[in-house]
Every structure is written in C-alpha cells, then in structure tokens.
Amino acid sequence: MYFSNIILGLLFSFSSFSLLANEEAVAHDSTQAHAATPAAHEAESTKFDPGKLILHHIADEHDWHFFTVGHFHATLPLPCIVYTASRGVVVFSSANFKNEHHEEIPYNGFLLEHGKIHAENGEKVYDFSITKNVASLMLSAVLLLTIFIGIGKRYKENPHRAPKGIQSMFEPIIIFVRDEIAKNNIGEKHYRRFMPYLLTVFFFIWFNNMLGLVPGGANLTGNIAVTLVLAIIAFFVTNFNGRSTYWTHIFAMPGVPKWMLVILTPVEIVGIFMKPFSLMVRLFANITAGHIILLSLVSLIFIFENAALGLAVVPFSLFMNVIELIVAFIQAFIFTMLVSTYIGAAVEEHHH
C-alpha cells in the first residue's frame, strides 16, 4: 500500500511536467496564430479543479473508476437497476451512460446527472443499482467470510495446535477485542453473547477503512448511509438487551426527587438517540476528513503547477497515509469500544 501511494505521487509529479509543457505549447501556438478558435480558448482556460477531484473520490458512483492515463479510463462498469411506474424494473450497464470520449449521454430514456439517475420524461425513478460503495461492501463481505471461515476451520480441525499464517495474525486482535473491549465494558457474565456482533463490527469497519486507502478504493465508511446503518444496528442491539434497571434509570432514576424527573427524563430519552447519532457522525467525519486531506495534498502539485513541489508533497502524503492506517484501526476500535460501553450499561445488573 505504501509503495502504491509512492508510485501514485510520482505519477502525479511527472504528469504535471507534461501538463506544464502542454500549456506552454498551446500558449506558443496561439501567439504565432494571433487568433484562436473558441475551443482553443476553452482548452487554455481549463484549470485543474481540486474540489471536483476530491468530491469525485469520496462520493458514490455508478461505475468504479480506478485511474486515467491520457484518454484511457480504467473503469469497471456496474449494473444499473432502476424502477419506474410505467416501465417497471429496468436493468442495464452503467457503461451505456458514457460515449467513446467518456462523456455522459442519455440511454434508454434515462440520464445520469451528478451521480443520480433521472428519467428524461421527469418520471420518478427508484434506483436500486449496484454502485461503487455497494460493490465495495460486497467485496469486504467476501473478504471477511473467506478469512474468518478459514480461520474457524483451522481452529476446529486443530484446536490445540499453535496458530500459524493468517491465523496467527488475527488471533491477537480477536483476543484484544475480547479482553480489552468486551470483558472490560460488558462484564464477565454477559460478554460472550455479544462477541460475534462486536467482532463483526470491528473487522467490518477496519477492513473497509483499509480498502478505502488503496488507490481507486471506495469511501465506504465515509458514506453517511453506511455509518447510519451501523448506528441503527447498535441502537437496537443496545436497547433490545436493556434490563429493567437500565430503563428504570432512564424513566425513573432512583434517589432523584420527582420534580427533577420532569427535566432529567427527557434528557435521558434524548441521550438514547444521541449515542448512535454520535457513532454515525464520528466515523463518517473522521474517515471522510482523512481522504480529503490526502487528496488535497496531492492536488497541491497541480494547483501550483510545479512538479518540484511533488518532492515535498509525496513524502508528506506518505506520512499522512501512515497516519490514516493508524486511524483506520483506531476508528474501528473506538466504534466497537463505545458500542460495548452502551451494551454494558444496558445489561448491567442492579447492585445492592
């Protein structure tokens, strides 16, 4: 991963050389001709837009774009699945929305604008397409199932043998989640039944954070819809397992005067919903901010149109990428840790 980002930065640096050379050639030719067509003026006035690049990377799309070299676009078309009242379910490839110049065009009565599919006749369109984030979600699910089903089989076949290979890599992490997160926050009595959920949440977030750092990767955990679903699941797991003492402390806190309950009970009820909301926003904001910072640093080469700047930007971008690798683990740890504390508070038994 480090090597790929170094290569990516160097490619950006070298491409800025060609960018400057092309601009100088265009300016020289226009000076000799003393006249230019509107298309030439438009080409000269075209500037690198870092905002468009960044939004293009962090947003969801109907195709998976990996890289562009000259006029070649390495793109994986994804299936579009849409429903309209007049036509029913329509399935086609997202490649139909692009012509040979990689420009967006209408297809079969539909138009792709700003990542959204619209009907040309203005009809309501329900989009169930396999987008870039959905494809990345499926990829991470396959990775999780493949890795941990394989690890589980090894433990089942040789329960007393020392772990080796990928098993030895993940065993310390699993033990860490069990001992430092589940046991400490939920308690010795109840932690076992929540371990499958906590391990799934931890590795799902961690794997997708890591996949998002690969050049061309999807920003799945930086998608507010994904973090919303994770937060909703945490909300239901916590409250469906809440004991009587948990609900008593929310609606009728013991030892508190009755008149104070009028103030404190609404606050506690709001807190029930604010906990998953904070989980959603924290994960979304931290992951998205990391992608924006990395892309902003690389964009400096094109903004200042100075290839020499790449000598400073590439090492610093590499340093930030290392930080992002750490953050990828920390965010998975924090999300799992907070969920376990909420569950621990819900299942805590009354102490006499």
pLDDT of the residue at 234: 96
Q: Shortest CA distance to 65 belongs to which of 188, 272, 219, 193? A: 219
Confidence label for 165 from pLDDT (cuts 50, 70 and 90): confident
pLDDT of the residue at 1: 37
pTM of the model: 0.80
pLDDT of the residue at 339: 96
pLDDT of the residue at 209: 92
Q: Which of residues 93 and 253 earns the better pLDDT score?
A: 93
Q: Which of residues 281 and 49 earns the better pLDDT score?
A: 281
Between 31-45, 63-77, 88-102, 234-248, the lowest mean confidence (pLDDT) is in: 31-45
Mind giving me the DSSP string for 29-48?
Answer: HHHHHS---HHHHHHHH---
pLDDT of the residue at 260: 83
For residue 27, is pLDDT > 50? no
Q: Report d(CA 173, CA 331) in Å as an integer.
A: 15
Mean pLDDT confidence for 272-291 = 91
Mind giving me the DSSP string for 293-338?
Answer: HHHHHHHHHHHTT-GGGHHHHHHHHHHHHHHHHHHHHHHHHHHHHH
24-28, 100-104, 153-157, range with greatest mean pLDDT:
153-157
Mean pLDDT confidence for 312-324 = 79
pLDDT of the residue at 307: 67
Tell me which residue has tokens 């909420």: 342
Q: Which of residues 26 and 323 earns the better pLDDT score?
A: 323
Return all residues near 59 (Cβ < 8 A) that are at least 6 apart: 115, 219
pLDDT of the residue at 46: 58
For residue 302, is pLDDT > 80? no
Q: Over the stretch 75-105, which tens digit does the pLDDT of each residue have?
A: 888 999 999 998 899 999 888 888 877 778 8
Confidence label for 42 from pLDDT (cuts 50, 70 and 90): very low
**Mean pLDDT over each residue of the chain, to the nearest integer:** 80
Q: How far apart are the first and last CA of the chain?
A: 54
